[in-house]
A and B are shown apart, each in its own frame.
Chain A
Amino acid sequence: MNGLRVDPYERGWMIASGIILAFFLLAVGVSAYHGFTLPGHDERLETSPGGGGARFPEPAVVQRGPGRYDVYMRAQIWAFVPNEIKIPAGSTVTFHVTSADVLHGFLIERTNINLMALPGQVSKTTARFDTPGEYRFFCHEYCGLGHQIMWGKVIVESRS
């Protein structure tokens, strides 16, 4: 760096800062590669009537095989449809979430599932539920006066 004089302590600090940031970045990179990924270009829905694009299926919990489920969820003012999802412990569930009107959020407590629901878009994520119990989910994006009553639950039943 032409003509830039840096105190040796400050240079040490700058190098240490770089190393720390690189280490964090590496950790995040490894976790992203091996574990939990983000929603992306999952699906765009046809929003204009008469268009030939994808339609969002009727909201439902669909079993795809032993312990494998797809949940098609529609967030709308001010409810999740469906708002109660029953699955056996050990199930792997893929959530497909869209919105019928304004922005909504979808977060399941005690899990890493956290999505935005946008009209015309589908957010997709997959998770495995091993521990039996009730996992509530909340809308976390302001969607009007009833935002705080928008919730539901995943009930994971033990396989006994």
Chain B
Amino acid sequence: MPENNFRLEERLTAWHIGIALGALFVGTWFGPLQVLEHVGIDLYGKLAPGIKSYYQGLTLHGVLNALVYTTFFITGFLTFTTVHSLKTRLRFPWVNILGLWLMAAGLLMTAVPLLLDNATVLYTFYPPLQASALFYIGLTLVVVGSWVEGFGLYFTVAAWRATHQGERTPFIAFGSVLTMAMWQIASLGIAAEMLVLLIPWSLGWVRGTDPLLARTLFWFTGHPIVYFWLLPAYVSWYGMLPKQAGGKLFSDPLARLAFWLFLVLSIPVGLHHQFADPGISPTWKAVHTLLTYGVTFPSLLTAFTVIASLELGGRARGGKGLFAWVCKLPWQDPSFSAQALAMATFAFGGIGGIINASYNVDLVVHNTLWIVGHFHLTLATTVVLSFIGITYWLVPKLSGKELWSARAARIQVWLWIVGMLPFSASHHLLGLRYGVPRRTMLGTAPYLSLEWNPLLLLAALGGVLLWASLLLYFVIVLGTMFGSRKAAQTSEMPVAEALVDPSETPAWLDTWTPWLIVTILLILLSYGPPLAELVRNVDLSSPGLRAW
């Protein structure tokens, strides 16, 4: 066996992914509890007094799955991709180790009030509902830890660039650090919300808070966070999946252009979550609509480039015809099929996203179950199924074992899709047709209507299938780690070659300063005036309430 130069980096990655999957494992149990409650089967009673309410379970589901799983998985994965793409070790490993410790300490601090029912504020934690200060401090530490790890990656890339002048940064490393840079700028909103408003207020240092300002700072981060989740999947779709399919990256420069556009356009769009809010001018809401339309463009570009890259693979494998080449793709490889299906799902998630961002059109669906359907297509399928696909090569790589059962993994992937179709379709329809509110204990709502029942039943069926699929996933991961044979040969990270050598990619697509300047200018233009107005009128008068 050749010597593994990345033992430390891979151990770091494994810890991140282990913690991420642990969080997902706990969080996923609440999914079926929610959909079953909606059809009158309340299993929460059986969890008392451990879990005290539907809403405590819902908070755990959101925080663990959407915040903890994603942040830990992504930070670990990007560490792995950066060092393997550059073929160089972390410049200062202690920085990344420190970051992981901060994140882990933050997770523990968050977990205590969550489990004790002292932070039943859902994962959006809008004030004036007030959680224990530990909850806010813990989440802040998780974010700060991810920043520290981001710096660890920058040092590594900077060191590589210093010794490889004139060369293009390998695409995977480029996309990985760009994701981190976008996240660091984007999460300044939530950092300000935590440090200036929520933490002093929850500690009792100030008496009141300003719910609208807090909410606006939250969404400054709250929309780009979805690109923080999505971009690592894109790194894999552009940089790895074509290789797994036997193809090549169709266009290295356009892949980079898409990533730069995500850096520039991911952040100045958050007001599209606040169309129904008072106190923010409709003009600025319209500006954010326009910019949100802008950020769909790099995703449309991604659709073309990635599908063209896969087509190269399908044809290389003997595929013919306008579409028949699709059948020649390696569908028996669960890592491929998971990510290809995740990609197909994003067509629908993306269209729904355009609807949500469409100014007054959003009022038809705002805060209804439609949003839950949308979120489970985008985050819980496009992103999570991609991450699942990634782990089908990454866990064997990290553990040096064979994948426990490719057949079980294929079943797991399709079961996710089979569960997600009824789950997501019924949620979309319940919101669109009936305006059924999201994040609500519907089973005991006095307004629960008979005509909602067929769709709620369909959603419950889908939810249970999704839960079963994830349990199978954990069996496969644990089976790989502890029950599988040692791999006959060491596997490598799949790295797609570009069709045209990246050295021909223009230098302006591998230069940071102008893009960072444009990013910051656009944020100042789109968020500067509305935020300045909110700050000028700041009204710290809402006392914290514990309404659970």
Q: Which residues from chain A sit less than 8 Å from chain B, CB to CB?
A: 1-7, 9-10, 13-14, 17-18, 21, 24-25, 28, 31-32, 35-44, 47-48, 77, 101-103, 105, 107-110, 112-116, 118-124, 136, 138-149, 151
Contact = CB atoms under 8 A, between A and B. Distances in A.
Most B Cβ at <10 Å: residue of A42, A110, A123, A148: A148
B367 A141 contact: yes
A120 B500 CA distance: 58
Given A36-B363, A144-B547, A2 B506 contact: yes
Contacts of A121: 212, 278-279
Given A123-B277, A144-B129, 17 more contacts: A1-B506, A5-B253, A10-B308, A14-B301, A25-B289, A25-B293, A43-B278, A47-B539, A103-B129, A107-B366, A112-B360, A112-B363, A115-B278, A118-B215, A121-B212, A140-B368, A142-B126
Contacts of A148: 440-442, 444-445
Interface of B: 53, 55, 122, 126-129, 210-212, 215, 250-251, 253-254, 257, 274-282, 285-286, 289-290, 293, 296-297, 300-301, 304-305, 308, 354, 358-361, 363-364, 366-368, 434-442, 444-447, 500, 504, 506-509, 537, 539, 541-542, 545, 547-548
B367 A140 contact: yes
Contacts of B212: 118, 120-121
A107 to B, nearest CB: 5
B506 to A, nearest CB: 4
Contacts of B367: 105, 107, 114, 140-141
Nearest to A143: B547
B192 to A, nearest CB: 19
A154 to B, nearest CB: 13
Nearest to B303: A13
Nearest to A110: B435
A28 B545 contact: no
Given A18-B297, A138-B435, A143-B547, A116 B277 contact: yes
A38 B272 CA distance: 11
Given A32-B359, A140-B440, A148-B445, A44 B547 contact: no
A134 B140 CA distance: 46
Contact of A42 (B278, B361, B447): B278
Contact of A47 (B285, B296, B441, B541): B541
Contacts of B545: 77, 101-102, 144
Contact of B279 (A24, A28, A118): A118
26 contacts: A2-B506, A6-B251, A9-B308, A10-B301, A10-B304, A14-B304, A28-B360, A36-B360, A38-B276, A38-B359, A40-B282, A41-B279, A41-B281, A47-B541, A47-B542, A101-B545, A102-B128, A107-B366, A109-B435, A118-B278, A138-B435, A140-B368, A140-B438, A140-B440, A143-B129, A144-B548
B440 A120 contact: no
Contacts of A146: 547
B364 A114 contact: yes
A122 B281 CA distance: 13
B281 A4 contact: no
B126 A115 contact: no
A12 to B, nearest CB: 9
B325 to A, nearest CB: 15
A80 B212 CA distance: 20
B254 A6 contact: yes
Contact of A3 (B359, B437, B506): B506
A142 to B, nearest CB: 5
B358 A24 contact: yes
A33 B360 CA distance: 10
Given A44-B537, A110-B435, A31 B361 contact: yes
A32 B541 contact: no
A57 B351 CA distance: 42
Contacts of A141: 126, 367
Contacts of B280: 40-41
B293 A102 contact: no
B122 A142 contact: yes
